[in-house]
Amino acid sequence: MCVSTTFWLYCKGLVSEEVIRDESKQIGGFGVAICDHEDNRLYEMNKVLGGEESTHQQAAELAALIHALNWALELDLGRVTFFCDDSNILEYVTGKAEPNESTVATLVKEVSLLQSKFSFCEALPVMKDITFVLKLAKDAIASQIRWREGDVYMETCPVCYEHVTSDEKFEVPGCFHRFCFDCIKKQADVALEFAKPLVNCPSFGCNSELQREDCEGVLKPKQLDRMTMYKKASMIKAKVLDFVCCTTCDNVMAKPDLIEYTKTFFVDAELSGVRKCTECGYCFCGECRAGWHSGMTCEEYFKRESNEPSPEDVER
């Protein structure tokens, strides 16, 4: 191993309250990744945490760091930089602040002792997405909430408390919370019913969002299309642009883009008011949104429609 090479350590300790069968428990786990100086992942590890480390978040974070530093020493890595995504932990291990709790203080001293065993060891704040190491920690926790029944592993859904097989659990990308398919469907149904552009993770206080591609195979095609439509509408609104929704296929279009597209078929689109959907090709009136009524004002069109005899009247 080259003595001048500095290796990067990413670690994450987690404490999570989980429902196992019919009992609520706090369990912990951690993940560690060792990367080279170009940030290529070389080694990964995850394990469960026990004792106070599984009930105290800062203790879990420090335990993960201790495991990472011990592992780096075992691999004979002389120079390391470790990254902290918890600002309090960073201040503790850099000596800028002292913890109030004795358990945390003891772990901080252990970190300091391990740091002294390297020829170079520094702590820095995380400056990148560390979802990969969070996933390792979440996997360590997930391994503790399963139990075996016959040939399958079972888990409890934390929303409905139903026992389902592990294969029937949906894992939210980003936060890695796990729920049964039915609860994810209900969460999506509620969001879509209120035309929300995002479907949030059902876990209380979690800000992770479900994307369309995450829900394929769980939601129906029409639900997936509505997710796309609401997301597109939200993006258009965010840009402070007027938008138009096709009455035939629900395609959402920015008004300037729609006009330019229509001009390729109707050169006088801006003056006449005709609009052509970019998705299904339906031609409609940009003013009243009804089918295109060339040569008639909206008032004339609707007056004619209201006076148009119904098929029943024609038969009489």
Supply the CATH number for residue 93's domain. 3.30.420.10
Question: Which position has the token pair 């090709």?
Answer: 281
Q: What is the DSSP letter of 168?
A: G
- Same domain assignment for residues 51 and 175: no
What is the structure's pLDDT at 314?
45
Tally Cβ neighbours within 10 Å of residue 31: 27
| Helix ranges restricted to H, the chain | 57-74, 87-93, 102-115, 131-142, 181-193, 212-215, 221-238, 255-263, 269-272, 298-307, 311-315
Which tens digits make up the pLDDT trace of 122-170? 999 998 888 899 999 989 988 888 888 999 999 988 888 889 998 888 8
Identify whether residues 122 and 181 lie together within a single domain: no
- Range of 172's domain? 145-239
170 assigned to some structural domain:
yes
| Statement to judge: residues 36 and 130 lie in one domain | yes
Task: Please list the residues that pair with 31 across neighbouring strands.
Answer: 12, 46
Asked if residue 265 and residue 231 are part of one domain, the reply reads no
Question: Would 313 be classed as within a structural domain?
Answer: no
Same domain, 43 and 136: yes
Q: What tokens appear for 187 in the block? A: 């969460």
Q: In total, how many domains does the chain have?
A: 3
178 with 134, same domain?
Answer: no
CB 53 within 8 A of CB 22: no
Among 17-21, 32-36, 75-79, whose mean pLDDT is lowest? 17-21
Instruction: Provide the pLDDT for residue 160.
Output: 87
Decide: pTM greater than 0.85: no
pLDDT at 240: 46
Q: Does a structural domain hold residue 84?
A: yes
262 in the same domain as 163? no
121 and 211 in a common domain: no
- Same domain for 89 and 150, yes or no, is no
Indicate whether 137 and 150 sit together in one domain. no
Q: How confident is the prediction for the chain on average, in pLDDT?
A: 86
Token representation of residue 267: 């050169």
- Give the domain-ending residue among 89, 116, 143: 143
Query: How does 84-120 read in b/e, with b if 16+ C-beta sit within 10 Å?
Result: bbbeebbebbeeeeebeeeebeebbebbeebbeebee
